[in-house]
Amino acid sequence: MCSLKNKNAVLFDMDGVLYDSMPHHVAAWTRTFADFGMHMAPCDVYMNEGCTGSYTISKVSLEQRGREATAREVEEIYAHKAEIFRTMPEVGIMPGALELMWKVKACGLQILIVTGSGQKALIERVLRDFDGFITRERMVTSFDVSRGKPFPDPYLKGLAIAGVDASEAVVIENAPLGVHAGVAAGIDTIAVNTGPLPDEVLLREGPCMLFHSMPELAGCWNELMK
Ligand code: MG
């Protein structure tokens, strides 16, 4: 367990942490790759979660077609995935996410969101659903960095926006590559396993703690701040 006593900022991941959106992403990615003659299993969507769409597309193309996707292909495939996602029923806010936001705010800590997402509709929705907790200036998305998770860059950018050192921040992540990025940025990272992957897959990336749901983390938050 890591102490959160001297923390100044909380860097939240978005998909699978603030929104119960991963089942939608799984459906959208598997259908998209099938439509372009490639394949992605549901567990691979969870294993790749957190990195940018272009990173995922290039990786799968290289593995299955023996070549990286061209910039135009990346754009076309990602637009197709985004369109499938857009036409799906609206995703729900993750249970416990707002409760945790209230507790973090009550402790006087800064709140930022650091996501690999480039889903404009979902990014806009965050500003409505988490009004009073987050502003666009305090969000890092795939539009704001050239190298996404698992590289530390998005979280390093989050630290710069917050104006704090890594030791003063904490990351909340649900994905293996997201935990990897937080740890690589030198930040204490809390894993919340809200998906189907075994805990071990997250634990081997080096989080300081692991919870099994956002309500569980929210319930322990005040204890962690002591
Ligand atoms: Mg996530």
The pLDDT tens digits for 118-171 are: 778 778 899 999 999 999 999 999 889 989 999 999 999 999 999 999 999 999
Distance 135 CA to ligand 1 centre (A): 19
Cα gap 28→5, rounded to integer Å: 40
Distance 191 CA to ligand 1 centre (A): 10
Distance 66 CA to ligand 1 centre (A): 28
Distance 69 CA to ligand 1 centre (A): 24
pLDDT of 122 reads: 79
Distance 224 CA to ligand 1 centre (A): 22
Kindly state the tokens that stand for 123: 């990014």
Sheet holding 209-211, edge to edge: 139-140, 110-114, 9-12, 169-173, 188-192, 209-211
Kindly state the tokens that stand for 64: 């299955």
The H-or-E segment that residue 192 falls in is strand 188-192
pLDDT of 1 reads: 63
pLDDT of 225 reads: 92
Distance 126 CA to ligand 1 centre (A): 14
pTM over 0.85: yes
Contacts (Cβ under 8 Å, ≥6 apart) of 191? 173, 174, 179, 202, 203, 205, 207, 209, 210, 211
Collect the ranges in the chain with pLDDT lower than 50: none
The neighbouring-strand residues paired with 139 are: 113
pLDDT of 114 reads: 97
Kindly state the tokens that stand for 170: 């904490």
Kindly state the tokens that stand for 92: 């729900």
Cα gap 74→58, rounded to integer Å: 7
